[in-house]
A and B are shown apart, each in its own frame.
Chain A
Amino acid sequence: MTPPPVIQTQGLSKVYKTVNALKPLDLIVPQNSIFGFLGPNGAGKTTTMKLLLGLIRPTSGSGQVFGLDIVRESVEIRARVGYLPQEPRFYEHMSARETLSFTARFFFKGPEAEIHKRVDETLDMVGLTEKADRPVKTFSGGERQRLGIAQAQVNYPDLLILDEPAASLDPLGRRDVLEVLGRLRKHATIFYSTHILDDVQHVSDTVAILNRGELAAYGPIQQLLAGSSGMVYSLTIEGNLQAAQNCLAGQAWITEIKDISLGKTPATWLVRVSDEQQAKDRLLRLVLENTDVTVVQFGRKQYELEEVFINIVEGGSHGG
């Protein structure tokens, strides 16, 4: 039996005066998934996260986290959530240790020894043990980000909501964040936003792309990558290119042939097809019928998430 989703929204929207920050959003985040939430600046990602946490109120629609209503039962939801805001802010006079202890005490009454132990563990997890007793006002941006990640998970949350968790981090820090996300998925659902698409592609199960407050694409990442822009095959050939093109152009199920090689040899074409079965059965055979054409590489086009993202955001097309 499929466990219930951790996050579910029905037409959730937010309008600020005349600005449509989030158009009606229907979203489902499965349990124990790593859900990547993408979009250009101002797309509505942070707005969505704040709506789920009760920091702002929806203009219309509804949402549930753990089956609890995001408006009426917000305090109960937050008892099981760890949140990392974009540009985390803390009390500057507190040290990292004091900040984590303060955070932990919203969830744990005691025992004191266990709270101290948990604080030490999370400091160690983010590499801040040596700086634990320095006031936060002396921290760099990257150190604050690490502290933000630590305070988000100090309470063993069932759901982590992370707004740009890898921001301000160097490549090693980013790698550590991805490792932490991978480890945490056994115990928690992770809902995070980022601009670093490479990370999303490697870590996430499901992706949603917001654009101008609207859900532009949504689904398992492999489906998104494969299904974007229709069925496209990549063909790298050398030899008599004109003969190959003539052969393919006459086929009704081939809708477009695009040369992306920029004059280089061998040539690489993207062949868009309308009938996948025909493409599987006949595309390669047709090209190979020309004895003066050599096929170097052939296969279904695997899109990088960045290509999908740019196509959707700039082209306005929908994928997934």
Chain B
Amino acid sequence: MAGNQAFEMVQSRGWSGGLRNLLRADFGKWFRTRLWWVQGLIWTGVINGILAGVLWSSPEGPDAGTGLMLYSIFSAMFPSIAIVIIMQDAIVGEREAGTAAWVLSKPVSRYAFVISKLLPNLVGVLVCMLLFPGVVAYAQISVAAGQLLDPVRFLAAMGILWIYLSYYLTLTLMLGTLFNHRGPVIGIALGLAFGQQILFGLAPFLLKVLPWTIAMPAGDSDNSIVGAVLRGLPLPDMTPLIVTSISIVVFIAVALWRFEKEEF
């Protein structure tokens, strides 16, 4: 190209073509704007606000065990809604706005485009929806318990919660590559997030396949996997966690495969 001798050219092409620039832009949407601390404040306000209300409204005083169980439930239930809403825009929104076609007219691979929607949002969710409220919840429940909670167990629980939330993140991302409209993407993802208990009644084997029991009790059990980890109790059946982890990989693979075939 004439005139470009002064520049250091981007060399990566193939599957990672454009990835570095896209990651820079999408990480920037989270961390070079106010989004990260606004989201952090929101989730701290919601999760920790409700937790504080429950812990310190009890006439018997704060109960750490209840606090741990509620932390697990609130950290799973509320952010999963937000994740579906954020992620439904990642592919469908860009397709509708025409920006996906614009970006893909540059030396950008389809894989890089999908990965650039995945990684920054995974990190954004981790930081703003888990870490911020998690640190505050650790402090809250430690105060309720009268002693510091086991930090290793707490971190492990947060890691498992991240897997739980990643399920909905990658599911919504995949749905965005399968449908051209937001309706089915949001409907299926949120329907699955909150309709699982109905499904369990119809097909109990789904308890082992869907992620509900990772963070929330179901059926006769009063414990989830995260709850058991937080309270140092014997672990229940880990099959849902394993299947959820595999599902995340499958969702990403399907999203990459499907988007490769997309036409703009």
Contact = CB atoms under 8 A, between A and B. Distances in A.
A76 B18 CA distance: 11
A105 interface: yes
A304 interface: no
Interface in A84-132: 85, 87-92, 102-103, 105-111, 114-115, 118
B101 A115 contact: no
A157 interface: yes
Nearest to B4: A156
Interface residues of B, number: 29
A55 B101 contact: yes
B107 A55 contact: no
A187 B106 CA distance: 19
Given A55-B264, A106-B18, A156-B1, A85 B101 contact: yes
Nearest to B106: A106
B93 to A, nearest CB: 11
B7 A111 contact: yes
B1 A57 contact: no
Contacts of B101: 55, 85, 89
B107 A106 contact: yes
Interface stretch (B9-17, B129-137, B237-245): B9-17
Contacts of A186: 2
A78 B107 contact: yes
A54 B106 CA distance: 10
Given A75-B17, A156-B2, A90 B10 contact: no
Nearest to A115: B7
A301 interface: no
A88 B9 contact: no
B14 A102 contact: no
Interface string B100-141: 011011111100000000000000000000000000000000
Contacts of B21: 102, 105-106
A108 B109 contact: no
A90 B106 CA distance: 13
A53 B105 contact: yes
Residue of A50, A88, A107, A186 ringed by the most chain B CB atoms within 10 A: A107
Interface residues of A, number: 39
Contacts of B17: 75, 79
A88 B103 CA distance: 11
Contacts of B99: 89-91
A75 B13 contact: yes
Nearest to A81: B105
B6 interface: yes
Given A83-B105, A107-B107, A157 B8 contact: no
A155 interface: yes
Interface in B60-118: 97-99, 101-102, 104-109
Nearest to B7: A108
B102 A105 contact: no
B174 to A, nearest CB: 21
Interface in B174-216: none
B102 A75 contact: no
23 contacts: A55-B263, A75-B13, A75-B18, A75-B107, A75-B108, A75-B109, A76-B107, A79-B13, A79-B107, A85-B105, A89-B102, A90-B99, A91-B99, A102-B21, A105-B10, A106-B21, A106-B107, A107-B106, A107-B107, A109-B7, A109-B9, A158-B1, A187-B3
Interface of A: 50, 53-57, 75-76, 78-81, 83, 85, 87-92, 102-103, 105-111, 114-115, 118, 155-158, 186-188
